[in-house]
Structure 1
């Protein structure tokens, strides 16, 4: 029974590894081989590419074929590792954590988004104060929330969307999400954990696609069709990143709203409902005097 379980887990891991690393890596290896062969001067010369491939395969024995296949697999695996490494910088770019040369642009974009948000938030306040109907107020709130759910602090929409749960939880419950989340995760049922884990996995896959986009864009310096493919991949990754970040952030905030009473009961037997005063008490207990941490 245990052997079957281990075999099943190994098979699933192998399938995930093949789908996430090997197959995209093989595709990039083919693009790399084509780009290094054709270059910019002969970017569409299919006959030249066929001639080079024929030269590699002609007269090759089984040993040479095996070496070529192993080399292609090794290159694919290396490309997959590099794409994973580049997904980190892509994530920081998507979230608005830009390096210092772009600090001025980040501040300018953050300021612009903040001004737009404040103008639309003020319009919402005026509409409520003047007693306008709920439909009109709802339309104004939708326009404001298209910028951000909370006052913008990032140059990108995705960055503010992922920080919104921590801000909204702090305002609603006076609870620091970074301190409460590891404890809450331990008491979450599988019906909540599974959607959260799947949403985070889909977001990570999108970030990995951004890493592949960077690789294709870099190859474009040698073979321009690769740059076109990289630009398309970057656009898809950006769009999917927004959508999947929205889903993940909504699930995180929903998990707090639904399961915070259960967490409070674990630390305060007399508590049966969430009070605003409970947040600071739980936060101080979770921090253990160490002060705030980044989420």
Structure 2
């Protein structure tokens, strides 16, 4: 899936790390900390803050800041897993069935003869209902992943890392920003959902009153829902970028591999299929190695 072949952790000194990981982590720890203190005693915290000497106070502040930073770094290393979970790659497979049924129903309400609906079908769903995932995010990203294979015979899982390295800097920046938006929304959606669960669990356990845990849980759940919907919108836009990359730059990839361009759509599909098999295991299962014609060295450079 695109999330596993494309994802990467933001640099600690990059402001995108601050916005996408550090600030959500700070918000999460602050919210959970507030719930824990509310379940205990704010008065005790105020008394502790008043009585602790300045050196120890600054040590506590520095330790808390380090803990938030460490938590943000750890979340950053798990972004791909989080995106995969929201995509619906759940185990065991039977957990996916209710969500897939919902997605199939949503797909069935669209009319492919209607221009608007046909555009949504292209951007939001894989071409085969048998491939559906149980979430909107998963289907939008899978539709983008499958596009190159269905249109050109080009396996995106195998070729995307190679294609990405050849992109012009301006294009790569746009693609990076599109992918990063998905990651940022997924992080906020995940931490908000966990906050909602913690608030509800503390309330049902009698640690918090209904006036505290109910609005806290509902507010966090609403934020999770809204940011997940934003992640879906970002995934649809990112899918358009991925399709455009293959439409515009796949011949650059052939040239970089030193392979002559095909002359017909059918020949192109067969070429990409053969080239993918050849790169993956050194041979094809159709005998189409003859389609892989090398360019003269001067043209391939």
Query: TM class, shorter-chain normalised?
Result: 0.7 to 0.9
Unaligned runs of 5+ in 1: 1-10, 43-47, 128-136
Deviation of 1:174 (Å)? 1.4
2:276 aligns to what?
A: 283
| 1-structure distance, mates of 2:245, 2:183 | 20
1:96 aligns to what?
A: 88
Contact 2:196–2:220 under 8 Å retained in 1: yes
The secondary structure found in structure 2 opposite 1:150 is: coil
Q: Which runs of 4+ in 1 moved over 6 A?
A: none
1:28 aligns to what?
A: 28
1:170 aligns to what?
A: 149
1:151 aligns to what?
A: 128
2:183 aligns to what?
A: 204
| 1-structure distance, mates of 2:121, 2:60 | 57
The secondary structure found in structure 1 opposite 2:13 is: helix
Q: Does 1:179 align with 2:158?
A: yes
Contact 1:28–1:76 under 8 Å retained in 2: no
| 2-structure distance, mates of 1:266, 1:85 | 32
Deviation of 1:113 (Å)? 3.5
| 1-structure distance, mates of 2:33, 2:102 | 44
Unaligned runs of 5+ in 2: 1-10, 203-207, 286-301
Q: Does 1:64 align with 2:41?
A: no
2:170 aligns to what?
A: 191
| 2-structure distance, mates of 1:212, 1:148 | 27
Q: Does 1:138 align with 2:115?
A: yes
Deviation of 1:255 (Å)? 0.2
Contact 2:141–2:239 under 8 Å retained in 1: yes
Report the TM-score when normalising by structure 1. 0.73
Per-residue displacement from partner, 1:46-101 (whole Å, max 9, x unpaired)? xx62x33420222332212112212321332344356446655542332111232x
Distance 1:196 1:274, change over 3 A: farther
Q: Does 1:55 align with 2:47?
A: yes
Deviation of 1:273 (Å)? 5.6
Q: How many residues are aligned here?
A: 259
Deviation of 1:195 (Å)? 0.5
Stretch moving more, 185-194 or 66-75: 66-75
Contact 2:124–2:143 under 8 Å retained in 1: no
- CA RMSD, Structure 1 to Structure 2 (Å): 3.3
Report the TM-score when normalising by structure 2. 0.72
Distance 1:115 1:242, change over 3 A: closer
Deviation of 1:254 (Å)? 0.7
Distance 1:22 1:96, change over 3 A: closer
The secondary structure found in structure 2 opposite 1:175 is: coil
Distance 1:142 1:176, change over 3 A: closer
Q: Does 1:258 align with 2:248?
A: yes
2:293 aligns to what?
A: none
1:216 aligns to what?
A: 195
1:6 aligns to what?
A: none
The secondary structure found in structure 2 opposite 1:13 is: coil
